[in-house]
Structure 1
Amino acid sequence: MTTYNDKSQHSLGDHAARQLANATKTVPQLSSISPRWLTQLLQWIPVEAGIYRVNQVCNTEDIQVACTQRDEATLPQTFVNYDSQPREYFLNGVSTVLDIHTRVADLYSSPHDQIKEQLRLTIETIKERQESELINNPEYGLLASVADQQRLSTLHGAPTPDDLDDLLRLVWKEPGFFLAHPHAIAAFGRECTRRGVPPPTVSLFGSQFITWRGVPLIPTNKIPVEDGKTKILLLRVGEKRQGIVGLFQPGLAGEQSPGLSVRFMGINRNAIASYLISLYCSLAVLTEDALAVLDDVEVDKYHDYPTNYR
C-alpha cells in the first residue's frame, strides 16, 4: 500500500492556480518623467504668428523729472525713446511621429488602451525635452540668455549661502526662485548644515522645497553637470514684473494643452496608424536683471550627470 506524506501533491499549486487569476496591471512606468517645476512656475504668454517682440527703452538715463519748488516755474522737458531694433523671439518646435499597428490597438487594448498609453508616454517625453530646451537651447535658453554682468563664480567650490546672497544681490527685484540640479541643492544643504544654518522649507504644489532668504530652490535634472561642476540660476518671472516668460502658440489644430497638438495622419497600406505630436514654445527674458547665474558650482568631482534631452 502506497502512502503520500507530501500533502502538496493533493492540492492545487500556486503556479497552476495563477493561470486562472487576473493580474492587476499598471500603465507603463517611464523613469525619465520628472515633475518639470520650471514649466509650472513660468507665466505662459500666447503669441500671434509665433513671434514675440520685446520692446526696450533705450534712453533710461536721459529721462528727466524734477521736484519743483513753489516759486519755480520751469519744468524739465523729456521723452522716452524706444530701441529701433528690438529682439524678437520665435517659437521652437519639438515634434515626433508616433506609429502603432492597428492590430495591436485592436487586440491588446484591455484593460489599458494602447493608443492612449503610447500617446501619453510620447507626450511626456516631449514635455521633458521642452524643459531641457527652455534651459539649454543656444538661442533662447536660460543658460544662454544670462547677461555678462549677471554672471558670478563661486569662491568656495561648493555652493554656499554667501553665493546665493550674491545672486540675490543681482536679482533683487522680486526674485522668484533658484533653479538648480538636485546635486547642487544637496551640496548647498550640506554647506548650510556645516555652517549651522539649516535652510527652512516651503510647500509648493504639495511638495517640500528648501529655501534661502525665503526664495525656494527648485530642482531640475536638465541643468548639465560636467566634470563635477554645474550652475545655479536665479529667476524673476512674470510679464508685469519685467521678468522671464514662457511663450506658446494658441489655437493649434488638435490642441491637447497650451502649445501641444496631436493630429492623426492616417493609416498606411501596412496598417500602421500615425500620429503627429508637436509642441511649440520659447522663452523670453524681458530685462537683463531678471536672470543671474552662479558658475563653477562643485557637486561631485568623481561623477558626471549628463542630461538625456539635449
Structure 2
Amino acid sequence: MEFFESDCFGMHRLYEEEQQHWDYYNMGLHDETYHDESDITNQEVQNENSDIGYDADDDDAQTGEEQEDGTPQEQQGHRRANREMSLDEKRQLDEILVNMEGDSLPFGFLSKLAKKHKVHISTTTRWFQVIKKHLGEGIVIDARTKKLGKTGPKLKVYLDEWLVSVPLYKRTTERSYAAALHVSSSVIHRLKKGRLRTHTSTNHPALTDNHKIARLKWVLSFMNPIPAVGDPTFRDMQYTIHIDEKWFYLNPETRTFYPLPNEQDPYRAQQSKRFKLKAMFMGMVGKPLYDNNKNLLHDGKYGLFPFVKYEIAKKKSKNRDKGTLEHKGSPVC
C-alpha cells in the first residue's frame, strides 16, 4: 500500500512538471525564461562547442532531430525550402551587430530573429557566438560555410545488369519492380525519366510455318509477270476493292456523355450483359480514282452496308405497337 501511494505521488509530480513545461511553452517563455538543470548543462556544452567554430552539419543534424521528434519548427506551417541558409541569408544576420550591447543582446532578440528567418533558435545562437568570437579576435566575420568539397548524399549508380536481373513478368508495375529489387518505388519512378522506357505489349498470332508460307503465296499473287529485264513490280491495285465485315454493339458497355451541371446523369439498361444486341456491317473501300488530268473521279469509299432485314411487327408488345417497322439481324452465310 505504501509503494502504491508513493508511486501515485511520483506520477502526480511528473504530471505537474510536464504541465508546467507546456505552460511555459505556450507563453513563449520556453527559450529564455524557463530552464531546468538539463537545459543549463546542454547550454554550457553548446557554448563550449561554439568556441571551436561553426559547423553547418550541426544545423542539419539538429534540424533532423527536431523533425524526427515530431516537433515542428514553425507552428504556422511555414518551413524553409532549403535546410541550410544561403550566403545572402547569413549576411542578413547583421542585425545582431546592430543590436549588440557589449557582449549581450536584448531579451528575446535571438528568438524573434529565428522566427523571422524561419530557422531554429540554435542557429541564431550559434551565429551570435561566432560573431562574438570573431570580434574578440579582431578578424573579419566570415559567413561562408565550413563545408569542403561536395556535400549532400552521394549519387547512387544502378547498373544495367542489376536492372535486367528481374524477369519481365515482375516488371509490369513500379511497385512490383521495386519489390523485386528491394528498393523504394520512388527509385523506379526516377529511373523512368531517362533509364527506363514504357512499352505496351500486345498479343500476336502464333503463326506456324504453314501459315507463313500461305501468307507469302498470297503476297506474291499480287505481283506482275516478271520481266526478262528489270526488277519485278506489284500491281498498282487501282481497281481492287477491299471488303471486310465488322460487328457493332448497339448499346456499348461504356459511353461518354457531356451533360450540363444541372442535368441528370443518363440511365442505361439492357436485358442481358452477356448476350448483347449487335449487328454486322460490311465495309467496302478502294483507292481513289483520278483521270489523266488528276481530277478526282471517286474517293474510294463505296459504303457501309448492314446485314439486317426490315419487317413489320405482327403483334403488339411493351416495346412497340403492332405494324411498327423494325429491323432484325440477318444471318450471314
> What TM-score, normalized to structure 1?
0.19
Compute the TM-score of the two structures, normalised by the length of structure 2: 0.18
Report which structure shows greater RCO (CA 8 Å, sep ≥6): 1
Bigger radius of gyration: 2
**Per residue, is there more strand in 1 or in 2?**
1
